[in-house]
Each structure stands twice: as C-alpha cells, then as structure tokens.
Structure 1
Amino acid sequence: MLQDSETVADITVVPESEMHAHDTDCDSDQSDDEATGDHNRLPSRILKGEGFLPNSDMQLPNPPDDDPGCSSSVSQGPSVVLGLAEKAEVPPGVKFYHDNLFTTLSLVDEMTLRGYGSCGTMRQTQLHNVPFTAPQTFKKTPRGDAEYLVEAEKLIVRWNDNSVVTVVLNMEREFTETEAKRWNKQKRTMDKVRQPKCIQDYNTHMGGVDLHDQFVSRYRVNIRSKKWWWPCFSWALNSAMVNSWCYYRSWKSGEKDLLSFQRLVAQTLLLRHGTKPSRQGRRSSMAVAITDATRFDNLNHWPCNTGSRYKRYKNCGG
C-alpha cells in the first residue's frame, strides 16, 4: 500500500483514495514454500485503499536479469515490490504496505535507499539474528504484550494477538501504542487491549487489498478450463470490471451496484459487437408487425390484459 508523503520518516494523514497496497494472489491453504515463489505464475498487485488496481504483474520463479526489480541485495519476493514500483513509476516519498510474502529486512533497507517508506508483516524465518523471544514462548504472554527493536532506520515490532505478529517499518523510529477491541471468550465481552500503532496503520492501509478481492470474488468468471493461462485471464477480466466500477462510482456515486454495472457492460458489449443469429430454413413471407427499433428500445413492452379470452394474429390464415 502506498501513501504520498514529503519524507519517508514523517507519516502524514492522507485521504483513503491516495493509499495503496501491495499483495499477491495465493490460495489460503498454500504452505510457506509454495507461497515463496515455487509456483510459476502468481499475479502480484499494487492497489489503492478504495479497491482500485493501478498496476499488476506476473510473478515468475526465475525473473529475467533485465527485470526492473532485480537487485543483488534482495531475493525474489522483495524484487517484485521494487519491480512494480518502477513499472508504476512511483515517485520517491511514497509509502508501501506489503504482506509477509514480500517483506524482508533487506527489502526495507533497499526501500530506504530508494526514498520509499516501507511497512510489512514478516515471517519468523526472515528475522535471522533479531533477538526476539521465541514465538512459542511469546504466545504464553498476556494478549496485547509487545516487544520492539530499533535497528538503524528500521523499527521491528512483535505483538501477541490471536497469534504472534511481527511488523518491520522504516517510517517510524519511536514505538507507540494505541487500543484495540478484542472478544474475550471467557468473559464473553469485548475487551480493550494494547496494540502497536504501526500494526493499526498496517491493518487500515491494507484494506484496499481485501476490498478488491471481495469485489472480484462476488461475480467472478466461473468458466473452468485446463489451460494454465485461463485463471490469470479470467482474473484480469474480473479486475478490469472492478476497476471500471470504481471509476464509475467516483463519477456517479451510488447509482449502480457492482452487479447492475456488470449487467450494463455486458448488454452494451452485446448490442455494439454482437451478431444476430442466422435464420434457418425458408424466410417467412409475412410482413414483420414490430420493427427492431421498437423491440430493442428497452422501454419494457409488457403484455396487457385486454379483457378478451382469445386473440388471433391478424396475418394468420384459417
């Protein structure tokens, strides 16, 4: 996720439409090894806070040497973030929020050198020599407990929630906390627990990813194929439809929901590019009683009750 800001170290409040997120499409049941790049094709995305997708790219297991994100100092996952930032021509001073598929300590260092802000969740395997408490031990601490470490330009924070969460960022060097509401199963009430401010910001700004995924999953293309490229193609169609709807909402707020908008697009494409089915057999000698202009004027010509029980078409013989 991206935020405009004059300096990387200074976090400013910006409108939701200016926030971006960086994420990838992976199945929820994938293992860590599967999600780190063993698949040949994974779409990676930069998204805005309202669910709009400005840019995306295919994640390859062995990217070419001339790929914009390739750097000797970062691995494949972080290079996807850097590559998308260059392809999207993101200016320095913008803030990225990315999930644990991409986040490493070397990525945050590289983002700092390029003038970008960086904040993301991390996996335990990427912490290396950071002297944090072991996750199994830290899980036993009270809910809301946190530990942090300031290293060079980075702030590394670990927090105990439903599970252990680790976040690293280069936009703050001072650890601050706020409050969050969590459900207490034993008391059956909502309790207030301490929450690091950086984790609250991360959850807020990564909302564009979840929003876009939610819109895409509502009315996705359900045609199945054995071709490897078909899921990518159908996902691109769904994302393009969601993007068009986001543009439409900014122009005409709340006039059509996503389903109505998709129906309108489909009808428009059929009217403009569709072909009429060819007639089979001999043409009828009867004159057409209703013109095509009347039939397809979308004015809802419904049958009406005239009071008579039987009616016969005037051109029918017999």
Structure 2
Amino acid sequence: MSDPLLAVDGLRIGFGPAKDGAEAVRGVGFTLEAGKVLGIVGESGSGKSLTMMALLQLLPGQARCSGSARFRGKELIGMRKSEIRHLRGKDIGCVFQDPLSAFNPVKTIGDQIVEAIRLHDRRISRRAAMKEAEELLAAVSIPQPDQRLRQYPHEFSGGMRQRAMIAMAIANKPALLIADEPTTALDVTVQAQILDLLRTLTRERGIGLVLITHDLGVVAGMADNIAVMYGGRFVEAGTADEIFYHTRHPYTRGLIEAMPKLDRPEERLVAIEGTPPSIWSRPPGCSFAPRCYFAQERCRQQEPELRDLEHTRSACLRAEELPPRETVAHAQDTGKDMTL
C-alpha cells in the first residue's frame, strides 16, 4: 500500500526547559489520505493550531518539537529550512484564522497572489501570473475579479478576504490544505459559502484538507474523520458518523449537547462547566476530570490512553459506561450525582 498523504505520530510540543517546561501538545497522531477531510475540534488552547504550525515549522523560537510528521513520505519534523520553505505555499497551503492580519496591508490582493505564484515558479511572467490570480479569484466566487485584484485587503469584506486567502492558498495547486478556523467571525451565510467552497476544492482537486475548528457543527457536513482534542491530546477519534452517533467520551458529548438543534429548538443546551486546563498546571490523571460529570476518583489519578472501542477510539476510563444523552440532561436539571 502507498503511504498516506500525511502521517503524524507521537507529535509533542513543549515550552520552557525540557525537564521543567510544559507540554502543549502531547503525543498526537493521525493519518490523512488525499481527497479526504480531517476535522480537528476543541476549545481554544487545546493545541489544535500548534499541531499544524509544527508541521509547517512556524512555531515560536522557544518551542520544543519532537515526534514524526511525514508528508508524502518525507519527514517534516527537523526538515531543513530551505526544504520546508519550498513545501510551504506550494505543496502545503494554509488558510490562516485572521485573513486581515495574514495579508500585507500595503500591497494589493493581486500583487500578493502573484508573489505567491512567482515565488515557486520563476518561469512564469508577472502578466501571466496576474491573469492566473484573476482566475483564482473568480474560482472562489469573488465578483469582478479583474477590479478586485487592484484593491487592498481593507477594501474587502471579511468573507471576501477569507475567499482571497483560500485563492492564494490554492494558487500553486497544493496537495494538502490546512484551514485554521476559516469561518471565525463570519456570519452564517458566508460561513456556509466558505465551507461549501472548501468542500468543492477537496472533491474536485483531490486536496487533503485539515480543518481546525472549535465548532462541531462546522465539520458535521464535510469531515470524513474527526479528532476531538483536549488538554494537548486527542481524547476521541473516528469517522464523522461515529463521533456524532456513537461518541464514547464525556467531552465530545458535551460539545454535541452544546450545539443548537434546528429540528428541536425547545431542547435545552447543556453547557460544559469550568475552563480548560493550563499547560503549566495540568491536573493529574484525566485532564477533563475536573469538568467531567462522570469522573470518579480513579479518573483523577490515572490518565487514560486513546483506545479502540466498538465504534470510536476514546481516551476515557468509563467509556463503556457513558449513559444516554437524555439521562445526562435530566441529571443536570435535577442535580443528580452521575459519578457513581
């Protein structure tokens, strides 16, 4: 069998001295095939973006990184700067979370897309690259692309800037696209358009897509596989159907119960109490135990491994005992103790 497009194994990212420092990402591993979508979901600070920045060698200078990340069989961790610069923007595209700060404010959109194209293909003329940039803007449904090329980032709306960012990310026909919170701060209509665009690019061009988000609803309709991240590690992983219909982790269950149900608007949303742990003061045992409605004393002492279950892979000591969703909601309404 051929190698997957991207294979990550045992990825760890830390800050501070190796002995006394803190780990922000702890042993993450996954594979991604061409033409497939992997959704990485979790709250802010869980390590989602750091994981992807490590693959591109865009971590801050004080960060420590170890493990393996193989792209088309080539090891990215520890790769020489000259090699990784050749891959970034060409074979691996990235859609950053805030397109306004990602674009250069004093250069036109057209100039920046042309720069991205010519950086990896010196043979193409500026005129030909500008024509290609116009076609890219048209491909991401930006109206009047010939005029928009001459405009600056601040003259674009939020949705148009995100589309322009996607256009620049796919300019060199990458095999892998990393989208870090691509729909943040966009209204629901524009959000749906951006997700539909990413879905179309994945299917038509065979691009492997890693979609990073805090919202399970964003990945519900487009991810082939979902990995739920908490406290710097994956706590549950599986196909989209397995995660939504057969979840075996309380944190994933909490994320699902916090989503509004359009077909059941009267259903009460169940919030996850508390806050995510700091990497400098992570509790012993399961990182989610202080916020978990089902935690027992053993959960506070022993950190569970990600293990195979009937449908998903879950890092929960009580995965097989997880009660039905309606039982959880009733217990929280009545104050019943679910830890026994």
TM-score (norm 2): 0.28
Decide which structure has the larger Cα Rg and report it. 1
